[in-house]
Amino acid sequence: MDHLNAPIAGVGAVVWKKNKVLLARRGHPPKAGSWSLPGGKQKLGESVQEATLREIDEEAGIRIRIVDIAAVVDLMDRDDQGQVLYHYTVVDLVAEWVAGDIRAGDDAAEVAWVHPDDFDSFGLSDDVRRVIALAASKRLPQDLEDEP
């Protein structure tokens, strides 16, 4: 299946550790160098949950617990003639950190735990901010108990 004839299925996660969110700086196109949510392509035969657990481990080296679905987002870019350069349909999940110290891996150039008050300095897109806000509303009460 040619990626120019059909969207590519992807996964991402809004991973919380207390009151901070895991962000990843993209190491490869599209949008190399920009900060976003960690994630990547879903593999054939892999569930959305399995793909998310794998991608977070590969990009950040941590274990997570999936809580819910945050949002489904279509990421598209077109050239000057309107032709689609890429189209990803991404299922973003809400997750909580379980174990491990973050370290950049796979196609993440950097990873960081970031408090929402500091998002401006990371240049997050409106879509990423919207997904994080949706994820925040779906956190479980027990996951908020240790919040300052």
- Residues annotated as catalytic are 110
- Number of helices (H), then strands (E), belonging to the chain: the values are 2, 7
- Residue owning tokens 């793909």: 51
**Cα separation values, 118 from 58, 71, 73, 94, Å:** 25, 22, 23, 20
Closest CA to 23 of 148, 122, 126: 122
